A and B are shown apart, each in its own frame.
Chain A
Amino acid sequence: MLEKFQEISDNRHQYAQDWKARTGKKVFGYMCTYAPEELIYAAGVLPVRVLGSHEPQDVSERHIYAMYCPFCRDVLAQGLQGRYKYLDGMVMGHSCMHIKQAFDSWVTHVPIDYSYYMFIPQIVTHPKAKEYLTHEMTKFKENLEKGLGVKITAKALDNAIDVYNTNRRLLREIYELRKQDPPPVSGSECQDMVVAGQLMDKAEHNKMLAEALKEIKSRAPRKPGKRLMLIGGECDDTGVAEQVEKLGANIVADDLCAGSRYFWNEVVPEKDRLAAIAARYLDRPACPLKDVTSHRYRLDHILKMAQDFKVEGALLVMQKFCDPHEFDIPVISKFLKEHNIPSYFIELDVTFPEGPLRTRTEAFLEMLELETV
């Protein structure tokens, strides 16, 4: 069952096009997990995240400066190469300038019927942020209705919230099982589930998750190994976790946008559905650019997760040239050290360097082993 998630990621274009043919509905791409998918889903459209293809390319150079992160360049390249011709729209929820550049270049140079950029406050803890984001949600809803010629009803919103919350709950249930020592499920399997979820109709994903949950519960635990956590930026290549786990470690938790940050918190229902959705995006585990004030609450979240999942070491992963994570990684590394959690750093490019990753992870695991002795 669990391999199915990876199959869907590998065949993401096929999945989306089949879905479109099957349902007769539209498919929108979105950039960054801050795009409020619930609204798109409530409009009867399938939102799919544009993730990395992890293939070298030379078409985005003309549009994006080479010192922007490889991820945003990879995203744009796929649009320019015509791999997403089936998309009916493109949406962005603001996270960082790099991906905003990919969005601008995409909507400028790739023919697309509908596009929408939405600002998500960066000072998410500001007392007026919720009211402001609710306004942005209202504008987006109106724009979607106009662009698609549909009415997004309260019932459709309730359904979308319900489907998405179920999805989040199921994924959290699966993550909870990783607290066991050793865990019954690997980090790469978990990430496959999350990544597939970013590409699928959540109602279908939920069914698969429910089955997967049953399967995992009845499984024997994995071999014991050092309990690691993945922390950092865009890392949708589950091969990283797979490589690390091949060396005998168990990845038991993560703070990634292609991981727990995507689903950790639910929409808490309130009368004003859009306000409820807004609150969810503000309260979710933050990326570095949503943690910009004098209290770094991202650290609190990471530490709690590390403690809850009994993490023994952390791998700090980041796309090359990713300014947002370059700001946080030295701080996180120091903070974890102060809490007796050693960490080491992996820089990702379009493809990740398997050989050095193996050597360095081995050295890190040996170091952890020695610390235990």
Chain B
Amino acid sequence: MVQEAKKLYKTKPLDCWGWAKELRSKHYERIMHAKELGLVLSSGSAHSRVLGAGLENHIHFGGEPYGATLAQFPELATECVEATEARGYARDLCAYMRLYWGSATINKTPWGPFPKPEFVIQSQICDSHSKWHQNSSELMGVPFYTTEIPQFYPAMRPPDKYQVDYAAAQFADMVDWIEKTTKRKWNDQLFADALLRLNRIHVLWARICELNQAVPAPLDIKSMFALYWPSTSGDINEETERFYVTLLDEVRDRVKSGIAALATERSRVLHENQPPWYALWFFREMEKYGCICIGGGYLFFLGGSWELYTDEQGKPAMRIEKTIEERLGRPNTREECMHMLSVLHFGRYRMITSSDAKRAAAVAIARGWKVNGAILMNNRGCEGLSLGIAEARVGLINEGIPTMAYEANMADRREWDEAQVRDRLEAFMESLGLKKLEP
């Protein structure tokens, strides 16, 4: 059944979209040529990139974004995961990790040989993090240092001073280790600049996401996945910050002028979890029904700075955090830097370590971004974001939000059942009262 597509809103392409892509290419270009450029190359999780930011000319090769990128090169990706499986590792382990390890094992990336880092640093948020890079360091024969962030429950409660101090102490030890291992000096001011800048970037991204509460939504999730990349994974530099300042202005203008991401928007859904990176058409498919996907917890929280709280009606809600500089001032000593780093870690990663936070965030987003339904991906390739995914659905159902769950693997396309996902989506769209619009 199709229905006539009435264009309700004006629309136009995003000016900043190409810039986001450019930032990504430049980042990988620099990583691939780190040696020639005289850069100190570290590796580990993407969020760990700030950990080495006290070194001059430092660049970090983040495992997860690399896995997501590699997932879009089908043949090489298969070769990589198979190389990891041949070493005895299970197929249900983190898919980004299996790609990363495989790529290191066969010494291939889409752009040339695997860029062997000088050292691997990690802060443990998801349980897979430290184990991932413990193994990476053994595989590549490079030194490894890991730190951890104490978890707590319920997640809405703030951490106590002891917990913050414990993580801060570990970060301070890590700096000593980096200096000793690399025989380079750590520059506290450089680190403070990067930390504050990264936090400002996270606040900017949260503001951009918040603008998507507007009807019509100025952004669609597929574009947002390109736009969030520099904030979660890119270089922490002046250009990245400028990019977000410019993007915020552009999105503000779109809202003011009523420019929609989808001209036919008549229904809104949220998507929780990482997307299947090799099948982003999935989000275009729902647009054929006049349904826009406005984002979701994974997209908003990973690159954004939010506070989850309970509002006067006793319901979960979220608001943008003030910048850390506004809250704590500029750190002057190493101790203050490490304390700030610790505070930031605690605030941002609850969504990964806590089922209750994920449930609360899903409900908060559904309310704040005025969705008609929610789509949740049961991710066969990520234990971290699988925490709380079923409970988020329960939370949404309890709020009367229609939901659809589908199974996929964010980076291993061998586990993608396209026909089944299409069928589910179609049935879900129909259950929301939507029919396919004529092109």
A residues engaging B (CB < 8 A)? 61-68, 92, 94, 96-98, 100-101, 103-105, 108, 117, 119, 121-123, 126-128, 132, 135, 139, 288-289, 292-294, 296, 321, 323-324, 326-331, 333-334
Are B390 and A64 within 8 A (Cβ)? Answer: yes
| Cα of A96 to Cα of B129 in the assembled complex, Å | 12
CB distance from A121 to the nearest CB of B (A): 7
Are A123 and B169 within 8 A (Cβ)? Answer: no
Most buried by A among B126, B354, B383, B389: B383
Of the candidates A64, A104, A330, the one whose C-beta lies within 8 Å of that of B153 is: A104
Say if the beta carbon of B282 comes within 8 Å of chain A. no
Are A65 and B378 within 8 A (Cβ)? Answer: yes
Are A63 and B391 within 8 A (Cβ)? Answer: yes
Give 9 closest A-B pairs by Cβ, nearest first.
Answer: A330-B88, A117-B153, A292-B130, A104-B355, A327-B131, A326-B90, A119-B150, A65-B386, A132-B166
Are B391 and A108 within 8 A (Cβ)? Answer: yes
Are B170 and A123 within 8 A (Cβ)? Answer: yes
Are B127 and A97 within 8 A (Cβ)? Answer: yes
Chain B residues 67-101 with CB under 8 Å of chain A are: 87-90, 92-94
CB distance from B57 to the nearest CB of A (A): 25
Closest to B354 in A: A104
| Cα of A104 to Cα of B150 in the assembled complex, Å | 17
Closest to B155 in A: A104
Chain B residues 160-197 with CB under 8 Å of chain A are: 160, 162-163, 166, 169-170, 173
Are B134 and A321 within 8 A (Cβ)? Answer: no
CB distance from B258 to the nearest CB of A (A): 39
| Inter-chain contacts of A119 with B (CB < 8 A) | 150-152, 163
Say if the beta carbon of B333 comes within 8 Å of chain A. no
A-B contact count (CB 8 A): 122
| Cα of A327 to Cα of B93 in the assembled complex, Å | 8
Are A121 and B146 within 8 A (Cβ)? Answer: no
Of the candidates B137, B143, B383, the one whose C-beta lies within 8 Å of that of A98 is: B383
| Inter-chain contacts of B92 with A (CB < 8 A) | 67, 321, 323, 326
| Cα of A323 to Cα of B387 in the assembled complex, Å | 13
Of the candidates B137, B145, B170, the one whose C-beta lies within 8 Å of that of A128 is: B170
Of the candidates A64, A101, A323, the one whose C-beta lies within 8 Å of that of B93 is: A323
| Cα of A126 to Cα of B147 in the assembled complex, Å | 9
Closest to B131 in A: A327
Are A101 and B137 within 8 A (Cβ)? Answer: no
| Inter-chain contacts of A324 with B (CB < 8 A) | 127, 131
| Cα of A97 to Cα of B153 in the assembled complex, Å | 12
Are B146 and A293 within 8 A (Cβ)? Answer: yes
Majority secondary structure, B binding face:
mixed
Say if the beta carbon of B356 comes within 8 Å of chain A. yes
Say if the beta carbon of B235 comes within 8 Å of chain A. no
CB distance from A102 to the nearest CB of B (A): 10
Are A62 and B394 within 8 A (Cβ)? Answer: yes
Are A67 and B378 within 8 A (Cβ)? Answer: yes
Known contacts A97-B384, A119-B152, A330-B88: A63-B124 contact under CB 8 Å: no
Identify 5 residue pairs between A and B in the complex whose beta-carbon atoms are under 8 Å apart, listed by A's number.
Answer: A66-B378, A67-B92, A98-B383, A104-B153, A329-B88
| Cα of A330 to Cα of B89 in the assembled complex, Å | 6
| Cα of A29 to Cα of B354 in the assembled complex, Å | 21
Most buried by B among A67, A68, A92, A288: A67
| Cα of A62 to Cα of B389 in the assembled complex, Å | 10
B residues engaging A (CB < 8 A)? 87-90, 92-94, 124, 126-128, 130-131, 134-135, 137, 143-148, 150-153, 160, 162-163, 166, 169-170, 173, 353-356, 378, 380, 383-384, 386-391, 394
| Inter-chain contacts of B153 with A (CB < 8 A) | 92, 100, 103-104, 117
Are A288 and B394 within 8 A (Cβ)? Answer: no
CB distance from A20 to the nearest CB of B (A): 26
| Cα of A64 to Cα of B93 in the assembled complex, Å | 17
Are B356 and A123 within 8 A (Cβ)? Answer: no
| Inter-chain contacts of B87 with A (CB < 8 A) | 330
| Inter-chain contacts of B353 with A (CB < 8 A) | 97
| Inter-chain contacts of A330 with B (CB < 8 A) | 87-89
Of the candidates A108, A121, A328, A331, the one whose C-beta lies within 8 Å of that of B150 is: A121
Are B390 and A333 within 8 A (Cβ)? Answer: no
| Inter-chain contacts of A65 with B (CB < 8 A) | 378, 386, 389-390
Most buried by A among B124, B150, B160: B150
| Inter-chain contacts of B146 with A (CB < 8 A) | 123, 292-293
Closest to A347 in B: B90
| Inter-chain contacts of B135 with A (CB < 8 A) | 327, 331
| Inter-chain contacts of B143 with A (CB < 8 A) | 294
Closest to A98 in B: B383
Are B378 and A293 within 8 A (Cβ)? Answer: no
Closest to B151 in A: A119
CB distance from B143 to the nearest CB of A (A): 7
| Cα of A127 to Cα of B173 in the assembled complex, Å | 10
| Cα of A294 to Cα of B391 in the assembled complex, Å | 35
| Inter-chain contacts of A289 with B (CB < 8 A) | 127, 131
Are A123 and B152 within 8 A (Cβ)? Answer: no
CB distance from B345 to the nearest CB of A (A): 14
| Inter-chain contacts of B386 with A (CB < 8 A) | 65, 67-68
Are B148 and A326 within 8 A (Cβ)? Answer: no
CB distance from B28 to the nearest CB of A (A): 27
Are A67 and B387 within 8 A (Cβ)? Answer: no
CB distance from A122 to the nearest CB of B (A): 5
CB distance from B311 to the nearest CB of A (A): 19
